[in-house]
Chain A
Amino acid sequence: MSTTTAPATVDTSAPGVPLSRLVRVEVRKAFDTRAGFWFSTSILILCALALTFFVSFVPIDTLTFTNSTGVAGGVLGYFLPIIPILLVTSEWGQRTGLVTFTLEPRRSRVVLAKFAAGVIISLAVIVVAFALAAGILGIGSVFRDGSVDWSISGHLIFNFVLSNVIGVFLGFAIAMLLMNSPAAIVGYFVYSLVLPIVVGIVSGLVEWFRDLAPWIEFNTAQNPLFTGDMSPTGEEWAQLATSGLIWLVLPLTFGVLRLLKSEVK
């Protein structure tokens, strides 16, 4: 600051905050509290425990690398979407949004940065989970009689990453819609645990709904990614697209539009 008395002016031609910087800050914010750090760490610890149990006790002929990644994927599938949920909702629960949106008033860029940070963190967790699956299977195979099938298809890896990115997207959409940590986490578990059961029951009873379900219900639509030959048909991709529109695009669009207009308190 200069020592002379000069009129204070605002420089509108100065560079804005680049998106890359916002993304780095958001990644940092996901780990710089005990809660944030331990949440991500706990997911990986849970992964390791599930894998250890799996490698120790399943029959040797089902002990394959494909199945091991499936175990890790099961754990991630449930908990990974909570990372983007907390990234979004903590701005309201802890009221840090007051500072965040004062330092970057272009709110859509904050949303974009949070989404990117959620994807980056999730991909990193997925990579570590894959490494855990390989490592624990490798150690386990030494102690088990028989040989382990290490083959894995590119399809499977692609679907694994795709479904987890979809999960992150979904957690993000629910969080943007509800703007509240407990509500968003409960909402996510209702979606991922309760909804498929209800859809299953109704589909068993009502024939026309059974045909309709994969078009409108996102869990059902994702089944072809993990069953059969794991390569969805054209119709199944179309079902993923329509149900994805309902469960991802609509809540996210509504949430973003509301954030852009609303008051940050």
Chain B
Amino acid sequence: MITVQNLSKSYGSFRAVDDVSFTCRPGAVTGFLGPNGAGKSTTMRIIAGLTPQDSGQALVSGVPYREVPNPGTQVGVLLDASAQHAGRTGREILTIGARTMGLPLTRVDEMLELVSLTDSESKRRVRNYSLGMRQRLGIAHALLGDPKILMLDEPANGLDPAGIHWMRSLLREYANRGGTVLLSSHLLHEIQIIADEIIVIGNGKIVRQGSKDELLDAAGTYVQAEDPSALARALTAAGLTASPQGQGLATEATPLEVGRAAAAAGVVLVELRKADGEGLEEMFLQLTAPNQRDQFTNGVPA
């Protein structure tokens, strides 16, 4: 369990984290989603006791991180896979971790195997690692002490699609055993694959949080009819607002509401579904657009 309450942190006049509250429960993978510079890493550093907060509190199972004895064995943390001495081998980095935590060195081999780093790869110096290999090493390091809580900052960054799916099954299994997982990403796609709960952050503030399904429902409906203009009239008559998308219409209403409106007007539908993938993507862009570094433009005329 990770509990963050009214957490704030400013750098000068810049509010990096602004009154952030959320809870990560055991048995679920919580995705922390937000554009670059939204405050994800600062929040995670505060949770790990590396950055002092201005106000509010961050607790792991009810205790500030800095009061957790031998924390590596209780909370696994990966904040930056590249923050390792480039001249050490992967195996040596895990060995140092195992020695600090007082673990048998057999754990090092077990973890290397778990993250599929081969024996020869483990003996290479980290400066020769790809970002994906560093992420695997970082995940191995976080899991070294068999912790009950995992906190990973951008762990999928640099992983290939197969790597992302590997991580999903790894974290899913971990959560199913009662573990708590908080992981961050600036890519909705990654979070959608891996997480059960989603917290969206922009400009230091939480803009939306809930289960993935809830947020997917909130993303609205896609509908297509035999006669598009009849459908548009039917939706307007039912008080639902819709906008053209592809061959059909996108609306924030639920599929049930849309279906009822169409049936009442006798409109023949050819497609009616939750606006999943793209819908959530659009929601993410909407939620974070005012907070994005780059403003969106409506395309540049050729």
CB within 8 Å for A99 and B178 given contacts A14-B69, A35-B87: no
Mask of B63-75 contacts with A, CB within 8 angstroms, 1/0: 1011111111111
Instruction: Say whether B67 contacts A12, CB under 8 Å.
Output: yes
Instruction: Say whether B99 contacts A21, CB under 8 Å.
Output: yes
Instruction: Say whether A8 contacts B70, CB under 8 Å.
Output: no
Instruction: Say whether A102 contacts B177, CB under 8 Å.
Output: no
**Is the contact region of chain A dominated by helix, strand, or loop, or is it mixed?**
loop
A238 to B: closest C-beta gap in Å:
40
B235 to A: closest C-beta gap in Å:
44
Tell me if B121 counts as interface (CB < 8 A to partner A).
Answer: no
A255 to B: closest C-beta gap in Å:
17
Chain A hits for B49, CB < 8 A: 101-102, 105
Q: Which of B50, B69, B85 contacts A102 (CB 8 A)?
A: B50
B68 to A: closest C-beta gap in Å:
5
Alpha-carbon gap, A22 to B72, bound state (A): 13
Tell me if B60 counts as interface (CB < 8 A to partner A).
Answer: yes
Mask of A21-43 contacts with B, CB within 8 angstroms, 1/0: 11011001100111110000000
Chain B hits for A264, CB < 8 A: 45, 50-51
Chain A hits for B67, CB < 8 A: 12
Instruction: Say whether B74 contacts A14, CB under 8 Å.
Output: yes
Alpha-carbon gap, A36 to B87, bound state (A): 9
Q: Which of A2, A90, A99 contacts B97 (CB 8 A)?
A: A99
Instruction: Say whether B63 contacts A10, CB under 8 Å.
Output: yes
Alpha-carbon gap, A34 to B127, bound state (A): 13
CB within 8 Å for A8 and B180 given contacts A16-B69, A17-B101, A99-B97: yes
Alpha-carbon gap, A7 to B100, bound state (A): 26
Chain B hits for A1, CB < 8 A: 146, 177, 179
Interface residues in A, total, Cβ within 8 A: 45
Which of B76-84, B188-196, B237-245 interfaces with chain A? B76-84
B102 to A: closest C-beta gap in Å:
6
Alpha-carbon gap, A27 to B287, bound state (A): 50
A29 to B: closest C-beta gap in Å:
6
Chain A hits for B177, CB < 8 A: 1-5
Alpha-carbon gap, A39 to B77, bound state (A): 32
Mask of B37-73 contacts with A, CB within 8 angstroms, 1/0: 0000000010011111000000011110111111111
Alpha-carbon gap, A182 to B229, bound state (A): 71
Instruction: Say whether A12 contacts B85, CB under 8 Å.
Output: no
Tell me if B115 counts as interface (CB < 8 A to partner A).
Answer: no
Instruction: Say whether A17 contacts B87, CB under 8 Å.
Output: no
Tell me if A142 counts as interface (CB < 8 A to partner B).
Answer: no
Chain B: interface size category: 35 or more
Instruction: Say whether B61 contacts A10, CB under 8 Å.
Output: yes
Instruction: Say whether B178 contacts A24, CB under 8 Å.
Output: no
Tell me if A103 counts as interface (CB < 8 A to partner B).
Answer: yes
Of listed A5, A32, A99, A104, residue having the most chain B CB within 10 A: A99
A156 to B: closest C-beta gap in Å:
38
Chain A hits for B80, CB < 8 A: 95, 98
CB within 8 Å for A103 and B97 given contacts A10-B74, A12-B63, A98-B50: yes
Q: Which of B26, B52, B71, B179 contacts A103 (CB 8 A)?
A: B71
Instruction: Say whether A105 contacts B66, CB under 8 Å.
Output: yes
CB within 8 Å for A33 and B48 given contacts A7-B26, A15-B69, A102-B72: no
Tell me if B198 counts as interface (CB < 8 A to partner A).
Answer: no
Tell me if A62 counts as interface (CB < 8 A to partner B).
Answer: no
Alpha-carbon gap, A99 to B102, bound state (A): 15
Alpha-carbon gap, A4 to B148, bound state (A): 13
Q: Which of A5, A13, A16 contacts B27 (CB 8 A)?
A: A5
- For B179, the closest partner residue in chain A by CB is A8
Instruction: Say whether A90 contacts B85, CB under 8 Å.
Output: yes
Instruction: Say whether B70 contacts A99, CB under 8 Å.
Output: no
Instruction: Say whether B141 contacts A8, CB under 8 Å.
Output: no
B55 to A: closest C-beta gap in Å:
16
Considering the complex of A and B, which 10 residue pairs feature the smallest CB-CB distances, nearest first?
A8-B148, A33-B87, A10-B61, A95-B83, A16-B69, A105-B66, A264-B50, A98-B83, A94-B85, A263-B51
Would you give 29 A-B contacts (Cβ < 8 Å), ordered by A? A5-B27, A5-B177, A7-B26, A8-B1, A8-B149, A8-B179, A8-B180, A9-B61, A10-B61, A10-B149, A12-B68, A14-B74, A25-B96, A25-B100, A28-B99, A32-B88, A32-B96, A34-B87, A95-B84, A99-B141, A103-B72, A103-B100, A104-B71, A104-B100, A105-B65, A105-B71, A261-B52, A264-B51, A265-B50
Contacts from A to B (Cβ < 8 Å):
1-18, 21-22, 24-25, 28-29, 32-36, 90, 94-96, 98-99, 101-106, 261, 263-265
Given contact pairs A15-B69, A265-B51, a sample of 13 additional A-B residue pairs in the complex whose CB atoms are under 8 Å apart:
A10-B75, A14-B74, A17-B69, A17-B70, A17-B100, A17-B102, A21-B100, A22-B100, A36-B87, A94-B86, A95-B80, A105-B48, A263-B51
